[in-house]
Amino acid sequence: MFLPKFKKDRLNRFKFYKFEPQIKVKKFIINSTFFISEIRVKARYQLFRLSDKFSVGYNYTNRCILTGHPRVPFRKFKVSRMEFRRLAKVGVLKGLTKSSWLYFIIMKSFSNLVSHIRNAGAVQNSFTLVPLSVFNLKALDIFYKQGIIVGYSIYDTKRAKVFISYLPNGVSLAGSLKVVSCPSRRVYITWKKLINYYSGIFCLVSTSRGLLTGTEAIRLRIGGELVCSRFYY
């Protein structure tokens, strides 16, 4: 079905590459003031004679090598976006990972961490076990420095043991932790909006320099994704 279109595009590409140097030379002579008028007029006439061949050779289309689909094929793989997705899904294109899948796994693990800490504080538990990941360890390190938790340790290969911090009246400091950004609604914020809306409020921001608190992001003047926040007591 698409074989004639492939042949036509191949012929048009050949014509384009064949006449492209001549077209550029003629246009340079026409637009240049270093040549006399007779030479420029002659070049314009020659360009007019080449116009039909040039217009035919110029109208070629990049197509998918598998289906012949003309809509924006990937230059590196030379396939359409539908075929690219199908090949990546069946595992033909090695080394590709869907970014939303990885983000979903990271945020799901972090949401479980916040829920475990908040629920443990609500029932006055001294510690709780949370999912273990690199992102969660960075968040726990910030929680420890901010006094939200007393400390944490590695429990096993998949979990970490977190010790909950309480105020003298028995209220957990992690009771008001809330996950803001999620895979279905990603929230981004600039450092200026952090000053306006999150002044005096603890928050975590995922930036180009890693996971930072709102105060650190304001000091470095960088924004990012608002991961979670908590009101100070």
Got the DSSP string for 6-34? Answer: HHHHHHHHHHHHHHHHHHHHHHHHHH-SS
pLDDT category of residue 108 using cuts at 50, 70 and 90: confident
- Decide if pLDDT at 195 tops 80: yes
pLDDT category of residue 121 using cuts at 50, 70 and 90: confident
d(CA 90, CA 96): 11
Q: 127-181, pLDDT tens digit by residue?
A: 899 988 888 899 999 999 888 888 999 888 888 999 988 888 888 888 888 888 8
Given this model, what pLDDT does residue 183 score?
78
Tokens encoding 224: 């990012």
Given this model, what pLDDT does residue 78 score?
80
Query: What mean pLDDT do residues 120-131 have?
Result: 88
Instruction: Please tell me which of 44-48, 102-106, 140-144 the model is most confident about, judged by mean pLDDT.
Output: 140-144
- Decide if pLDDT at 1 tops 50: no
Q: Which CATH number fits domain 100-231: 3.40.718.10, 3.30.1490.10, 3.40.190.80, 3.40.50.300?
A: 3.30.1490.10
- Decide if pLDDT at 201 tops 50: yes
Least confident of 87-91, 122-126, 213-217: 87-91
Average pLDDT of the chain to the nearest whole number: 82
Q: What is the pTM of this model?
A: 0.57
* Radius of gyration of the chain, Cα coordinates, nearest whole angstrom: 31
Got the DSSP string for 48-103? Answer: HHHHHHHHHHH------TTT---S---TTT-S-HHHHHHHHHHT-STT---HHHHH
**Quick one: CATH architecture of 3-90?**
Orthogonal Bundle (1.10)
Give residue limits of the domains in the chain. Answer: 3-90, 100-231
Phi, psi of 194 (to 5 degrees): -60, -40
User: At what angle are helices 134-145 and 99-122 packed, to 10 degrees?
Assistant: 40
Instruction: Please tell me which of 42-51, 86-95, 141-150 the model is most confident about, judged by mean pLDDT.
Output: 141-150
Given this model, what pLDDT does residue 233 score?
36
Query: What is the four-CA torsion angle of 191, 195, 197, 202, rounded to 10 degrees?
Result: 90
